[in-house]
Amino acid sequence: MKINIQEIARRSNVSIATVSRVLNNKGPVKPETRNKILTLAKQLNYKPSPHARALSSRRTDTIGVILPELVDEYFMDIIQGIDEEAHLFNKYLMISSSHSQRNDIETIMEFMGSGRTDGAIIMAPSLHDEIYEVIKKSKRPVVLLNCCSSKTNVVSFNIDNYRGARQIVAHLIDHGYRKIGMIKGPDRNIEAQARFEGFHDILVERGLEYKENYVISGDFSLTSGNYGMLRLMGSDDKPQAIFAANDYMAIGAYQAARNLNLKIPEDVAIVGFDDIFTSRIIHPRLTTVHVPVVELGRRALNYLVGMIDGTKDPAESYHEELSTGLVIGESCGCKSK
């Protein structure tokens, strides 16, 4: 037995229009009629067809989530936040990765154009400016995560990478280190940029000299951290402390330190950024910056739903920065309690 809106209507002795009104809480319906329909629907376990609904109303109750090519722990947590919040709003999640085979933008365009979603959350660590055009042209609202500055004319939610970097580097300075080096992230990555700027600015503000040879570029990978550490420690003018732009690189730096027979933090202090699981396990425990990723995902979805509902103006640009927190380990020189 096929139960669709017609069947419900037939059995309730009303028209399908009335059934539709009840189901969508739209328009006036006599309470008893309403109850009769609701009861029957529940009884027959009737679920409206999402496709029919989408076809006639262009509403899918589905949110697109576009992930970067490399998905690690960090992104998994964001998704968790998105998913939890999506569930509160009865939204479904359609997930797509930017596969290396295909261009980021193509993936995104395809996704947005398909009409499968009411809107999308995009996480792409480094976006071309092109993407902003795509988003502006899109019929459906979009929220960007961690991938654009507040200057861009879009909606975005970000971690306050700049302040996080300042905080942790300030902590190093407070320890008395004067020669502080950094293993940077990829230049095109906006988060990496902000973390570097935070590092740079706090050094200068605190009256320390910023030295180019204390800074080396990595790509957020373990191996690049390892390599960066070898380079920094291979020079005659060695830094006393290293700020790795993320925990993976910090852990790579640990490996290099071990190979060089350098004790952390006695010979060189190391701090990271992201607060991944491994950082809490290794010895000495890594001092790092905690980023509220679950919360980030939550808020992004919440705002996006607002744009879809019309609660928030989708045309208006909006930016929010979530603040980070310091996780004190022993790798900076602090004693364990």
CA 323, CA 327: separation in Å to the nearest integer?
Answer: 13
Give the range of 41-49, 274-282, 287-295, 316-324 binding DNA by CB under 7 A. 41-49
Query: Which does residue 71 bind out of DNA, a second copy, none, counting CB within 5 to 8 angstroms by kind?
Result: a second copy
- Please list, in sequence order, all residues whose beta carbon lies within 8 angstroms of the beta carbon of residue 43, skipping any fewer than 6 positions away: none
CA 191, CA 195: separation in Å to the nearest integer?
Answer: 6
Q: Under the criterion CB under 8 A, does residue 84 sit at the interface with a second copy?
A: yes
- State the binding string over 267-306 for a second copy (x if CB under 8 A, else -): ----------xx--xxx-----------------------
Q: Under the criterion CB under 8 A, does residue 251 sit at the interface with a second copy?
A: yes
Distances in Å between the Cα of 320 and the Cα atoms of 223, 281, 303 are 32, 31, 10
Q: Under the criterion CB under 8 A, does residue 261 sit at the interface with a second copy?
A: no
* Residue 68 CB coordination number (10 Å): 20
Distances in Å between the Cα of 327 and the Cα atoms of 51, 169, 199, 255, 337 are 47, 13, 17, 21, 13
Q: Under the criterion CB under 8 A, does residue 83 sit at the interface with a second copy?
A: yes
Query: Which does residue 83 bind out of a second copy, DNA, none, counting CB within 5 to 8 angstroms by kind?
Result: a second copy
- State the binding string over 14-33 for DNA (x if CB under 7 A, else -): xxxxx-xx-xx-xxxxxx-x
Q: Under the criterion CB under 8 A, does residue 89 sit at the interface with a second copy?
A: no
Give the range of 84-92, 196-204, 261-269, 290-298 binding a second copy by CB under 8 A. 84-92
Nearer to a second copy, 190 or 304 (CB): 304
Q: What is the DSSP secondary-structure string of 161-217?
A: HHHHHHHHHHHHHHTT---EEEEE--TT-HHHHHHHHHHHHHHHHTTPPP-GGGEEE
Maximum Cα interatomic distance, the chain, rounded to a whole number of Å: 89
Q: Under the criterion CB under 8 A, does residue 113 sit at the interface with a second copy?
A: yes
CA 337, CA 317: separation in Å to the nearest integer?
Answer: 45
Query: Which does residue 30 bind out of DNA, a second copy, none, counting CB within 5 to 8 angstroms by kind?
Result: DNA
CA 303, CA 238: separation in Å to the nearest integer?
Answer: 46
Query: Which does residue 25 bind out of a second copy, DNA, none, counting CB within 5 to 8 angstroms by kind?
Result: none
Helix (H, G, I), strand (E, B) or coil at 132: helix
**Chain residues in the site for DNA (CB under 7 A):** 2, 4-6, 13-18, 20-21, 23-24, 26-31, 33-34, 46, 48-49, 52-53, 55-57
Site residues, a second copy (CB under 8 A): 47, 49-52, 54-55, 60, 62, 71-73, 76, 79-80, 83-84, 87, 92-97, 99, 101, 113-116, 251, 254-255, 277-278, 281-283
